[in-house]
Chain A
Amino acid sequence: LAKTTQPISMDSYEGQEVNITCSHNNIATNDYITWYQQFPSQGPRFIIQGYKTKVTNEVASLFIPADRKSSTLSLPRVSLSDTAVYYCLVGGGSSNTGKLIFGQGTTLQVKP
């Protein structure tokens, strides 16, 4: 199972763009990269998923380089409500279906 490494914490200010990078050196060919957001005492919420290059949705962008050994979640113009823990998750294929391992996550603190 691919192991992920993320910064433990990050600080930002309202209105700034925030980039959180996740390292996954032993990602497998059929693994996807997924990011989740979690607020205290709530379940994680799916943000975005990608396999390669760039994916964008209404809340974030995900950049994946050609070697796929890392990925970067980009949050444009963050607000105070984006203060949360962000998890990078790597998984895929049928060998470990359903057994998805979350890393430590990155605690993002957005300041006014």
Chain B
Amino acid sequence: KAGVTQTPRYLIKTRGQQVTLSCSPISGHRSVSWYQQTPGQGLQFLFEYFSETQRNKGNFPGRFSGRQFSNSRSEMNVSTLELGDSALYLCASSSRTGAETGELFFGEGSRLTVL
């Protein structure tokens, strides 16, 4: 069974630009959640989607958005990039039950550097 795939793995952007990150969950998983990880703040929850609906959202500004497609693949977008957006963005896939209990399967992450 293939794991969670995130693309791209690494990217460099400049301030003011926007970025789109993609996540393909494990086959059969309908829940996809996104996390931002930085050395200072640790792992912070961004949002979670289940069957194309956003069920929960973390405390991030509106520049951070996401969506989920009918095949459960998900994308997140960050507009008007700031230096502080430099981070490892992690996607986690889970079943319906797993999303409730905390059994998450993470991808390798997308490392974003904003210059």
Which A residues are closer than 8 A to B by beta carbons?
Answer: 32-34, 36, 41-46, 49, 87, 89-94, 96-105
Q: Are A32 and B102 in touch, CB under 8 angstroms?
A: yes
CB-defined contacts of B49 to chain A, threshold 8 Å: 98
Name the prevailing secondary structure of the B interface residues.
strand
CA distance A60 to B77 in the complex (A): 37
CA distance A45 to B90 in the complex (A): 12
Does B42 interact with chain A (Cβ within 8 Å)? yes
Q: A98-B48, A99-B58, A102-B42 given as contacts; is B101 within 8 A of A43 (CB)?
A: no
Please list the 6 inter-chain residue pairs (A to B) with the smallest Cβ-Cβ separation, ordered nearest first: A98-B48, A43-B106, A99-B56, A102-B43, A32-B101, A34-B102
**Chain B residues numbered 79-115 whose CB sits less than 8 Å from any CB in chain A:** 88, 90-92, 94, 99-109, 111
B90 CB, min distance to chain A CBs, angstroms? 5
Partner pick for A89 among B48, B102, B109, CB 8 A cutoff: B102
- Counting contact residues on chain B (CB < 8 A from A), the size range is 20 to 34
Does B64 interact with chain A (Cβ within 8 Å)? no
Q: Are A34 and B103 in touch, CB under 8 angstroms?
A: yes
CA distance A96 to B47 in the complex (A): 11
Name the prevailing secondary structure of the A interface residues.
loop
CB-defined contacts of A105 to chain B, threshold 8 Å: 42-43
B99 CB, min distance to chain A CBs, angstroms? 5
Q: Are B50 and A97 in touch, CB under 8 angstroms?
A: yes
A20 CB, min distance to chain B CBs, angstroms? 16
Interface string of B33-66 (1 = CB under 8 A from A): 1010000001101001110000111100000000
A95 CB, min distance to chain B CBs, angstroms? 9
A27 CB, min distance to chain B CBs, angstroms? 12
CA distance A94 to B90 in the complex (A): 23
Partner pick for B31 among A44, A96, A98, CB 8 A cutoff: A98
Extra pairs beyond A32-B102, A34-B102, A91-B102 (10, CB < 8 Å)? A41-B109, A43-B109, A44-B104, A90-B102, A98-B33, A98-B56, A98-B99, A99-B56, A100-B45, A102-B35
